[in-house]
Structure 1
Amino acid sequence: MKTALPMFRALQRQRLACTAAALAGVLLVQGCTMPVDARKDAAFQSYASQSDRPVVRPTRSISSFSDSLMCMDHLLREAQLPPTLITSKQIPDYSSRVPVASKDMIITALSQMSRLSNAFRFVDYEVDIARQDTVQNLTTILLNNNQMQLQRPALYLSGAVAYVDQNVISNRFDVGTSASRLDTGYSASRNATIIALEMHLGDFRTRTLIPGLDSANEVIIGGAGQGLDLAGRIGSYGVKFNVGRDYAQGAGSAMRTLIDLGTIELVGKWARVPYWQCLTLDQTHPNFQRQMRDWFDESGPQAQSSLVQSSLISRGYLPLGTEPLPSNSPQLRTALARFQADSGLVASGVVDFPTYERALRNYVTLAPDGTLARVGWTSTGAVATPATGASAGAAAVPEATIATAPEATRVELQIENPLPAGERAAFEEGEQVFLSATVSRTSHLYCYFADARGGVMRLLPNAIHPHSLVSAQLSTRIPDWMTPNPAFIMDAGKPGTEKVGCFASDTDPLPALPAPLQGPALKAVPGFRTIDDVSDAFAKSLGSNGFTRGEIQWQVTTKRSSPAQGAPAAKPAAR
């Protein structure tokens, strides 16, 4: 009797389990046959729009040679090369392992080298029959109806991804142990892949590649991983645990580096400028970004803000003697946004790593042992007197600490006419004059022309180009010969000295200027005879420190008996 009772209870439990399983099966079948009510998920789905957004701020795409491109821009400007029309073929990848937009990267590199110098204008003439877009369709229609003309480029870039050798070297290590109740395992792997790019520069008129103007470079990208596995058993139960960490260097950044390097080499050889000066900057060191990130991480938010604010003071974005500002200060956020915009960064107004790196990169140099060293600062924010200068952009920074006197906005003007070797002594009467103006910080720019007879008129801004705010390190053409309507032409007038002066300020000075200077552009300004008169008016209205002045002058000589054909005879005047 005692033996039958447990058996009965066991059978009863089995029946209950079978009944429950059968009931669950019926409910499952019924649930699957009934439609799901989406309204019940409304609260859950309401978070989708926020969850879909990135959680990291976007940054500019850069390579190890981003500063080298800016350096090349300065070299090309100093060489006074006339604007050159250039285009590019598609850069194919026959391995199909580097799916990147190589041609667009070339366009970006050429654009970065033309901000100041106006060295290149890219002609986007290629028509892809397989993938027609709006621009291509309209271009085809206008060309067929003789309503559009495409300028023929002088040069073109060609090339291809030569090869992609994956896992050229690979290393793998695995080890494990096994026991009755515990199993362990450890694994590690490393690999390296080589990507090679060939680029050439050709003469578009003859479709011949120019001998010697070639570039063949390769870059190595790698990956590595580590993993740990644990498995144990306690009685009839078991548990497993594994953890791993991996990294893989992408092909996109590697290709941008190769394209930037190849474009610099080709342009430097073609223009015959010392391009190697731009490839030996400390910022091209492979560990530059990683070392800057290490210093950024070990600094902490307070030191990061302090160091960046010191740099903003030295660059003139904050007044000298400004006390440390909190991160939410409107004055600091405005200064940060202007600095970020001038530096080609996303203007977020916060101290992030790209801002930290851009603000302090000029105070980093290569130590004798080949490592990167800080000059005049530490990670804690303290400022020390440096022993040597630091390398920066296109030139070296002289001995100084970060907390130097604020740097004034620089206004640079340059004659853009194609000039023979040496200085251009003079222009003949009626000969067109082309200039460019550049400011070191985003500013409001006003430019005035003074002729040899004592007349002054405002060139910029004008009715066609009414905006006075111009971006930093971006050439402003005077007149803008690259637009269909440049608003005026500037011809050499009567024999004598002519001059153009440009004035830059942080705020729009027009409301504070005297009434004659508030008049319309391209008209004589009554009561003003020289650029110095205009400068005095700016000083009285804005103060001597409220603006920066830049000027350039040239001599006008009597027209020869046989002037060049087509030389206009008008002074600066509206078209």
Structure 2
Amino acid sequence: MIRRVLGPCLPKVNGFFAALALAGCSAFSPEVPEEIQQANPDNLPKSTITNFDEALVCMDDLMVIHEVPSLYLASQGIENLTSDRSISTGGKEMLITALAKMSTRSKAVRFVSYGVDIRDILDLQAAHPDKADFRAPDLFIRGGVTQVNKNLWSGQRGSGASLVFDDGQLTDGGTFFILKGEEDLTGSYSLNSGYGTVTVDMSVGHIANLQIIPGIASSNTLALKHQEGTAITADLTIGDFGFSYSFTDTESLDFNTVFRSLIQVGTIEIIGKLHNVPYWRCLANAGSVSTRSAALRERFNELGTAEDRSALYRFVQTALRDAQYYLGEVNGSFDLPTRTALQTYQQRHGLLATGLIDFETFRLMNLFTPSRDVPYIPWWDADLRQAPRTPAAATNGKKG
């Protein structure tokens, strides 16, 4: 009896419960993708690394090789000079970190931390109670973010579709018509991304007369694909019941990472010019590490699996000796002094200091060669002749 009474309504009742079930499935809180959690853990501090950290260590080795004297520097800061307030005010701290990383072994740069007014440093030196030990800086670095274009390019692509199961019935409601019994499904899918640029200018001047040194400057622009997103929507109508579903997944990158990278590149250029060392050796491959690594791995596998590994050992000994990590003979023997020097090299470059020749160590020794313009292992000679002398990302930098 009940079934006969409710019989005409069962499709609508079933549609109602189906809509409830779908709504329940979509009510869960969105989960952060695993790869994002691994790159940005919430339970453990993580070192801030850019594509140019390895170039900073390369510069340190380069200045060890050339035995450069120490430069005493100060800075008023690397400020954000644009109207974009999302750029960090911590440029000076980023500069200090970059200088520290590139002078660990060489001691080629000594940063004198002082206030914002460079002119007061000389007054402080005269009045300092321990002025015999106080060393006023000789030079100062100044600069800032001069251009920001977060909307250099943006794009969206998408598509949509609909499917009608039942057109329903149009009935006259007097004042207006009423559509009843309609059953349809509609959906859409879209992708979007954004691309922007940041420019940083830096220069150097003398503390004594506050004059900027001609030719000792850096101006670089770096781009960032800062946003990437996906959006999905769906609508289901069954008679008088309806269900809507939406899904969005957007990842945004911070332009301050670009700011830090540009400070690192500018610091390498400026210090390299001041010390008159071939700093471009450390920048030549910094912007193309990932593309070169695949070809280099093939060469590493050839040398690493050969019966006679003396060629690989001689390469490692030569690279370590050139950078003054190893003081022994290049004899093709993987002896204790070689392994000890290799451990020191790995530790300095932030690698696992095993003393073994792994691919990451092999890669660094060939991509960042402070003592020469060509790699130790010729695996991309043809490509090398076409490679730019400055990193691909630093579009405006020029070798001085």
Q: Same fold (TM over 0.5)?
A: yes
8 Å Cα contact 2:151/2:194 also seen in 1: yes
2:266 is aligned with 1:277: no
Q: 1:161 aligns with which of 133, 136, 145?
A: 145
* Letter of the structure 2 residue corresponding to residue 360 of structure 1: F
Give the structure with the higher percent helix.
2
Q: Secondary structure at the match of 2:137?
A: coil
- Quote the Cα distance in structure 1 between the aligned partners of 2:376 and 2:77: 40
Deviation at 1:339, TM superposition (A): 7.7
2:87 is aligned with 1:83: no
**Deviation readout 1:187-209 (Å, 9 max, x if unpaired):** 22222111100000111111010
Deviation at 1:62, TM superposition (A): 1.9
The residue that corresponds to 1:118 in the other structure is 107
2:249 is aligned with 1:213: no
**Deviation readout 1:292-315 (Å, 9 max, x if unpaired):** 9xx9xxxxxxxxxxxxxxx9xx99
- Quote the Cα distance in structure 2 between the aligned partners of 1:277 and 1:146: 41
8 Å Cα contact 1:221/1:251 also seen in 2: yes
Q: 2:207 aligns with which of 191, 204, 207?
A: 204
Deviation at 1:143, TM superposition (A): 8.8
- Quote the Cα distance in structure 2 between the aligned partners of 1:392 and 1:276: 10
Instruction: Map residues 501-512 of structure 1 onto 2, 5 A cutoff.
Output: none
Deviation at 1:346, TM superposition (A): 9.1
- Superposed CA RMSD in Å reads 4.3
Q: Secondary structure at the match of 2:79?
A: coil
8 Å Cα contact 2:232/2:247 also seen in 1: yes
The residue that corresponds to 2:96 in the other structure is 107
- Quote the Cα distance in structure 2 between the aligned partners of 1:227 and 1:360: 39
* Letter of the structure 2 residue corresponding to residue 266 of structure 1: I
Q: Structure 1 residues 122 and 390 mapped into 2: Cα distance closer, same or farther (>3 Å)?
A: closer
2:365 is aligned with 1:394: no
What percentage of aligned pairs have identical amino acids?
A: 25
Bigger RCO (CA 8 Å, 6+ sep): 2
- Quote the Cα distance in structure 1 between the aligned partners of 2:46 and 2:363: 22
* Letter of the structure 1 residue corresponding to residue 223 of structure 2: I
**Deviation readout 1:257-301 (Å, 9 max, x if unpaired):** 1011111111111211111111113x4316469979xx9xxxxxx
The residue that corresponds to 1:258 in the other structure is 262
Q: Structure 1 residues 242 and 393 mapped into 2: Cα distance closer, same or farther (>3 Å)?
A: farther
Deviation at 1:146, TM superposition (A): 4.8
Q: Secondary structure at the match of 1:97?
A: coil
- Quote the Cα distance in structure 1 between the aligned partners of 2:347 and 2:254: 29
Q: Structure 1 residues 275 and 202 mapped into 2: Cα distance closer, same or farther (>3 Å)?
A: same
Q: Structure 1 residues 145 and 100 mapped into 2: Cα distance closer, same or farther (>3 Å)?
A: closer
2:176 is aligned with 1:192: no
Q: Structure 1 residues 213 and 184 mapped into 2: Cα distance closer, same or farther (>3 Å)?
A: same
Q: Secondary structure at the match of 1:106?
A: helix
- Quote the Cα distance in structure 1 between the aligned partners of 2:282 and 2:41: 35
- Quote the Cα distance in structure 2 between the aligned partners of 1:59 and 1:127: 30
8 Å Cα contact 1:189/1:226 also seen in 2: yes
Q: 1:147 aligns with which of 125, 129, 132?
A: 129
The residue that corresponds to 2:156 in the other structure is 172
The residue that corresponds to 1:361 in the other structure is 360
The residue that corresponds to 1:567 in the other structure is none
Deviation at 1:393, TM superposition (A): 4.9
Q: Structure 1 residues 188 and 220 mapped into 2: Cα distance closer, same or farther (>3 Å)?
A: same
**Deviation readout 1:468-524 (Å, 9 max, x if unpaired):** xxxxxxxxxxxxxxxxxxxxxxxxxxxxxxxxxxxxxxxxxxxxxxxxxxxxxxxxx
- Quote the Cα distance in structure 1 between the aligned partners of 2:292 and 2:377: 23
2:220 is aligned with 1:231: no
The residue that corresponds to 2:57 in the other structure is 70
- Quote the Cα distance in structure 1 between the aligned partners of 2:247 and 2:147: 35
- Quote the Cα distance in structure 2 between the aligned partners of 1:104 and 1:267: 17
Q: Secondary structure at the match of 1:181?
A: strand
8 Å Cα contact 1:196/1:216 also seen in 2: yes
Instruction: Map residues 116-515 of structure 1 onto 2, 5 A cutoff.
Output: 116-126=105-115, 146-149=128-131, 150-178=134-162, 179=164, 180-222=183-225, 223-281=227-285, 283-285=286-288, 287=290, 342-343=347-348, 345=350, 359-364=358-363, 390-394=366-370, 396-398=375-377
Q: Secondary structure at the match of 2:360?
A: helix
Structure number with greater Rg is 1
The residue that corresponds to 1:306 in the other structure is none
The residue that corresponds to 2:320 in the other structure is none
Deviation at 1:392, TM superposition (A): 4.5
Q: What's the TM-score once normalised by structure 2's chain length?
A: 0.57
8 Å Cα contact 1:60/1:345 also seen in 2: no
Deviation at 1:344, TM superposition (A): 5.3
8 Å Cα contact 2:151/2:196 also seen in 1: yes
Deviation at 1:359, TM superposition (A): 5.0
**Deviation readout 1:323-365 (Å, 9 max, x if unpaired):** xxxxxxxxxxxx9xx8898245498x9x9xxxx9x95234449
- Quote the Cα distance in structure 1 between the aligned partners of 2:45 and 2:345: 13
Gap regions ≥5 residues in structure 1: 1-52, 129-138, 296-310, 322-334, 366-388, 401-575
Q: Structure 1 residues 259 and 359 mapped into 2: Cα distance closer, same or farther (>3 Å)?
A: farther
**Deviation readout 1:2-59 (Å, 9 max, x if unpaired):** xxxxxxxxxxxxxxxxxxxxxxxxxxxxxxxxxxxxxxxxxxxxxxxxxxx9556543
Aligned length: 272
8 Å Cα contact 1:58/1:346 also seen in 2: no
8 Å Cα contact 1:60/1:346 also seen in 2: no
Q: Secondary structure at the match of 2:244?
A: strand
